[in-house]
Amino acid sequence: MEMECYTHSLGVAAVVLYLSFCILSTTILATTELEDENVNWRSNEEAMNLYESWRKEHAYTLLEEKENRFEIFKDNLRFIDEHNAGNHTYKLGLNKFADLSCDEFGSMYLGTYVKRNGSEHLTLRSSSYKSASSSKEITAEKLPSSVDWRERGAVTSVKDQRTCGACWAFAATAAVEGINKIVTGNLSELSAQVLLDCDNYDYYFNGNAGCNGGLPDLAFEYIISSGGIVHEDDYPYHARNRYCFLDKRNKEVVTIDDYRSIDDEKALQAVVAKQPVALSIYIKRGALTFYKSGIFTGPCGSDSIHSMTIVGYGVDNGIKYWIVKNSWGADWGEDGYIRMERNVADTKYGLCGIAKAAIYPIKKSPNRIYTSSTTRLDKIHMFLIILGIPQYYFLVGKITGGRIQDFT
pLDDT per position as a tens digit, 76-97: 999 999 999 999 999 999 999 9
Q: What's the pLDDT score for residue 361?
A: 97
Which of these, 342, 304, 260, 288, lies nearest to 124 by C-alpha position? 304
DSSP string, 211-238: GG---HHHHHHHHHHTT-EEBGGGS---
CA distance 55 to 183: 45
CA distance 310 to 65: 38
Burial class (CB in 10 A: 0-12, 13-18, 19+), 83: middle
b/e burial code for range 228-240 (CB count within 10 A of at least 16 → b)? bbbbbebbebeee
According to DSSP, the β-strands at 147-148 and 358-362 are: unpaired
All structural domains of the chain with their residue ranges? 107-371
CA 70 to chain centre: 26
Under CATH, which number does the domain 107-371 receive?
3.90.70.10
Q: What's the pLDDT score for residue 63?
A: 67
Q: What's the pLDDT score for residue 402?
A: 36
Answer yes or no: are the C-beta atoms of 321 and 340 closer than 8 Å: yes
Which of these, 163, 138, 100, lies nearest to 277 by C-alpha position? 138
Segments in the chain below pLDDT 50? 1-39, 114-122, 127, 133-135, 203-205, 373-378, 381, 390-408
Q: What's the pLDDT score for residue 28?
A: 41
CA distance 239 to 163: 7
DSSP 296: E
- pTM of structure: 0.80
Q: What's the pLDDT score for residue 31?
A: 39
Residues written for the chain: 408
Active-site amino acid positions: 167, 306, 326
Q: What's the pLDDT score for residue 7?
A: 27
Answer yes or no: are the C-beta atoms of 371 and 249 closer than 8 Å: yes
Instruction: With H, G, I as helix, E, B as strand and everything else as coil, classify residue 10.
Output: helix
According to DSSP, the β-strands at 337-341 and 291-296 are: parallel
Burial class (CB in 10 A: 0-12, 13-18, 19+), 342: buried
Residues 6+ apart with CB under 8 A from 402: 201, 202, 222, 225, 226
To the nearest whole number, what is the mean pLDDT of the chain? 79
Q: What's the pLDDT score for residue 206?
A: 54
C-alpha distances (whole Å) from 364 to each of 52, 88, 180, 213 are 53, 44, 9, 29
Answer yes or no: are the C-beta atoms of 248 and 374 closer than 8 Å: no
C-alpha distances (whole Å) from 366 to each of 42, 141, 216, 255, 311 are 59, 27, 22, 7, 23
Interior angle at CA 177, CA 331 and CA 230, nearest 5: 105
